[in-house]
Amino acid sequence: MSEVRVEKRAVNPAPMFPVGRFFGMNPFTMMCEFSEEMDRMFRGNAPAAVTAPEPWAPTVDVQRCNGDLVVTAELPGLKKEEVKVEMTDEALVIEGERNREHKEDHEGYHRYERNYGKFYRSIPLPESVKADLAKAELNNGVLKISVPVAEAKKAARQIPVAEGAEKKPLAA
């Protein structure tokens, strides 16, 4: 019968941490390093959509152009029936709701995404707007609203600057 040679070696049960490294280490430092190692180990392996969806508010640009107040809002994928534009005495209100469902069936997997949410944007208006002449149009996901604004008369007047009397230093 042949002879079998058995060798005993210490095996590190946690190969990511070298043996003997923890002796004399602060417990808080040890927990921080453990947490960092766990983060490194699981990074990139988490599913992409594990968090709750964030509320959506469309991007809005407001500018003055040729005597009009022009408001542009990005509403990708929305139809004009899904958007409501309203003017109050103080503000222009854009609101609506998006309801999107996307379904993919392939061999080996099934993917179904839903995207729901209401949005509300309120843009303050100057006092001199002509609300009855406002126009709105939705084109390729971009809502453009033009509101004529009456030119406000600039009441500026010159204030004369008088020479001040010289102050004498206080006696100590």
The string of pLDDT tens digits covering residues 22-68 is: 566 677 777 888 888 887 777 755 555 455 555 678 889 999 988 88
Separation in Å, CA 8 to CA 4, 5, 11, 21, 65? 13, 10, 9, 22, 84
What is the domain range of residue 21?
13-46
Give the CATH number for residue 72.
2.60.40.790
In the chain, the number of structural domains is 2
- Say if 168 falls within a structural domain: no
Q: How far apart are CA 47 and CA 110, in angstroms?
A: 15
- Say if 79 falls within a structural domain: yes
Q: Which of 133, 130, 123, 128 is nearest to 91 (CA)?
A: 123
Q: Do 73 and 142 have their domain in common?
A: yes
Q: Which of 49, 69, 53 is nearest to 61 (CA)?
A: 69
Q: Do 100 and 138 have their domain in common?
A: yes
Q: Do 31 and 102 have their domain in common?
A: no
- Say if 38 falls within a structural domain: yes
pTM, to two decimals:
0.54
- Say if 161 falls within a structural domain: no
- Say if 155 falls within a structural domain: no
Q: Do 130 and 87 have their domain in common?
A: yes
Residue 71: Cβ within 10 Å count: 22
The string of pLDDT tens digits covering residues 61-104 is: 999 988 889 999 999 888 889 899 999 888 999 999 888 788 88
